[in-house]
Amino acid sequence: MNILMLCNKSPFPPSEGGPMAMNSIVTGLIEAGHNVKVMAFNSNKYHVDIDSIPQDYREKTRIEFIDIDLSIKPSEAFKNLFSKESYHVKRFVSETFKNRLIEVLKAEKFDVVQLEMIYMAPYIETIREHSDATILLRAHNVEHKIWERMAKKTVFFAKRWYINHLVRTLRNYEMSVLDKVDGIAAITITDASYFRRVTATPVIDLPFGVDIDKFDPVFEVGDTPTFYHIGSMNWMPNEEAIKWFLKNVWNIVQKRLPEAKLYLAGRNMPQWLKKKNRKNVIVVGEVPDAHEFVDAHNIAIVPLLSGSGMRIKIIESMALGKTVITTMVGAEGIQYTEFDDIIIADNAPKMVENICRLYKHPEEAEAIGLNARRLIEEIYDNKKIINRLEIFYKEIKSKREITVLN
């Protein structure tokens, strides 16, 4: 098949959640023998120098970027208060991208156009006008639910009111798009169930997958386990989670375990975190190799309080044989067995208790890490996931053809 992928950011380098999820599909489809072309936005928020992408990857994906400014402009944000348009989505509307997309669609016939995230949905009409390709929306999250959860946790009234406005407009847009595509690939079973309730469009749950051969697990924990968190800090749920964790969990852990160490890695570390001089909290920032960072530590902490979709860093940590301590929100969409291949701690006392227990009994962390790796091999092998996607492509293409004939 000839597949065009429209991405809200570059899938390469796969250094944070969104790009990792996109890259796993891109590389998986290519390895399965399909032709893939990638068109992606290159923004001030997430900018990639195309020359930094390996030549082999560029040739295989024929990747090209369209520059876009995603800065939040106060005047436009204010005007949006009096509009029914989603400010989240509106920022991704680009005449330059649209014109280039038309050129690509006219020059080449595609079997499938895959929209990576709802933010690429403004181009559905353009695709329909210039191509007869099947359109698939790959929903990394139920986007409005992320902001819905954040609004509920926002104390300041004016800020909460504004976030609720963003939620309403984003939800309305998200719901309006579902019936315009030929299929929806949700990244979790939970999200897939939600979409099935609100649309007749065919839906599949298609989790993030890993290339098992590229994950060499390290199960040994040692006598003094180290804890870590890795994730992009310009994603608000991550920043919210770490702020809560340091205040409500780590302060107590430090009193009980004065020698315990926490390493924080990821892009865009906020200034408040860089300036904080906390004992045994090491702010590493962006790391050149995420696997090396994870290998060097033992127990992952993912204390998410809000968000939707699947936490890709959890899947990767489990693939590398690590124990993960997270919340119900963090583990959402993962087919886990609690205390067998992952630890769920939905409040501060429970998180403190589990951190202290694993620190004192590292053999438990090793056992959970072994089970975590087995789970990834069984369910999250990218080859199996790509095979399911190929079948879904054929199903929605066939259904669309029948609909057109009728």
The one-digit pLDDT tens for each residue of the chain (406 residues) are 999 999 999 999 988 888 999 999 999 999 999 999 999 999 988 899 999 999 999 999 999 999 999 888 888 888 888 888 898 899 999 999 999 999 999 999 999 999 999 999 999 999 999 999 999 999 998 888 888 877 887 888 888 888 889 999 999 999 999 999 999 999 988 899 999 999 999 999 999 999 999 999 989 998 999 999 999 898 888 999 999 999 999 999 999 999 999 999 998 899 998 887 788 999 999 999 999 999 999 999 999 988 666 788 899 999 999 999 999 999 988 989 999 999 999 999 999 999 999 999 999 999 999 999 999 999 999 999 999 999 999 999 998 877 666 6
φ/ψ (deg, to 5) at 78: -70, -45
Task: Calculate the CA 47 to chain-centre distance.
Answer: 17
Which residues fall within 8 angstroms of residue 39, CB to CB, at 6 or more apart?
A: 4, 5, 6, 7, 63, 64, 66, 97, 100, 101, 104
Farthest CA pair distance, the chain: 70
Q: What are the residue ranges of helices labelled H in 112-229?
A: 124-130, 143-153, 157-178, 189-198
Two structure tokens written together for 185: 């690939």
Which residues fall within 8 angstroms of residue 121, CB to CB, at 6 or more apart?
A: 89, 115, 137, 173, 177, 180, 181
Q: What is the pLDDT of residue 36?
A: 98
pLDDT in tens, 123-136: 999 999 999 999 99
Domains and CATH numbers, the chain: 2-209+381-405 (3.40.50.2000), 213-379 (3.40.50.2000)
| Letter string b/e over residues 328-356, b meaning 16 or more CB atoms within 10 A of that residue's CB | ebbbbbbebeeeebbbbbeebeebbebbe
